[in-house]
């Protein structure tokens, strides 16, 4: 094997996506031939050099695993939480390989969460250039007017940057709340909550129900299933240009 960038090797080993692997390097958790490496762009030949994470040599030939978890509220999408809150990996009974979440879901958000040990696959979902859609079901306070929904669909200013156009559909109206389905392809932190807050309708419950064409379906809360090759193909079957929802 020829030399490759260290963060790419870490991603192939299933430690994290390529971007998160860069953070692990910055934190000084990675060594090459026993020496800590913290600079980006370092190239390494894994056939000739010993790469270790937190003192443990990497295994580059691990079987690739792809899981879909229906994350409950009250769990964090990290592999360790200093505050001692429940972590999503504790729900993966029977999975002995190390996997990591693809992106995040907030502590109070539930629904579809993919976990894998395939860093390149994670990168293909997370990087904005691939425009992989995420669909959410949001219950919000009040009744958004057609004009406010149009603001979401056309894109609005959040923290100095305009959001990409979203697809929004009203599902149900109650006296004090409205349930909507919204599809975006960005992954900014707490983006859906901030988008609805920006139009004056606070989110009271949020659930991710799809990655691309892969729907959460009837998977029970707190349970997971392994994804097949056809499931993985569904993720990439819808692009931002179509913005069509399967209901």
Residue 239: predicted pLDDT: 54
pTM, two decimals, is 0.74
Domain 134-211 has CATH 3.30.70.1560: yes
Active site residue 106: yes
Three-state SS string across 126-173, please? HCHHHCECEEEEEEEECCCCHHHHHHHHHCCEECCEECCCCEEEEEEE
89 token code pair: 């990996």
Q: Give CA–CA dist 66/231, Å, rounded.
A: 10
pLDDT band at 61 (very low <50, low <70, confident <90, very high): low
Over 50: is that where the pLDDT of 246 sits?
no
Q: Of the residues 45, 47, 106, 108, which is catalytic?
A: 106
Residue 96: predicted pLDDT: 82
What number is the average pLDDT over the span 12-37?
Answer: 84
Q: Assign 234 to helix, strand or coil.
A: helix
Q: Examine domains 4-57 and 134-211 and report if their fold is the same.
A: no
Domain 66-128+218-235 has CATH 3.30.70.580: yes
Q: Which single residue is written with the structure tokens 């629904």?
A: 111
What single-letter DSSP state applies at residue 212? T
Residue 240: predicted pLDDT: 42
**pLDDT tens digits, one per residue of 152-193:** 999 999 988 999 999 999 999 999 999 999 999 887 889 999
Residue 39: predicted pLDDT: 84
- What ranges do the domains of the chain cover? 4-57, 66-128+218-235, 134-211
Fold adopted by 4-57: 3.10.290
């Amino acid at each position: 094997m020829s030399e490759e960038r260290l963060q790419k090797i870490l991603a192939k080993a299933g430690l994290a996506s390529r971007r998160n692997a860069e953070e692990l390097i910055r934190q000084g958790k990675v060594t090459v031939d026993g020496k800590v490496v913290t600079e980006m762009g370092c190239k390494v030949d894994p056939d000739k050099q010993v790469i270790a994470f937190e003192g443990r040599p990497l295994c580059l030939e691990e079987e690739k695993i792809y899981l879909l978890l229906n994350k409950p509220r009250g769990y964090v999408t990290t592999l360790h939480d200093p505050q001692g809150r429940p972590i999503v990996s504790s729900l993966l009974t029977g999975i002995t390989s190390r996997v990591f979440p693809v992106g995040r879901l907030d502590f109070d958000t539930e629904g579809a969460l993919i976990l894998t040990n395939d860093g390149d696959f994670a990168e293909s979902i997370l990087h904005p250039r691939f425009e992989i859609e995420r669909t959410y079901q949001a219950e919000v306070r009040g009744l958004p007017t057609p004009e406010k929904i149009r603001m979401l669909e056309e894109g609005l200013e959040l923290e100095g940057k305009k959001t990409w156009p979203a697809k929004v559909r009203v599902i149900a109206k109650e006296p004090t709340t409205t349930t909507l389905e919204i599809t975006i392809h960005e992954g900014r932190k707490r983006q859906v909550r901030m988008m609805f807050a920006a139009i004056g309708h606070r989110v009271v419950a949020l659930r991710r129900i799809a990655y691309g064409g892969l729907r959460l379906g009837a998977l029970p809360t707190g349970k997971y299933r392994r994804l097949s090759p056809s499931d993985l193909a569904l993720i990439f079957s819808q692009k931002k240009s179509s913005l069509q929802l399967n209901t």
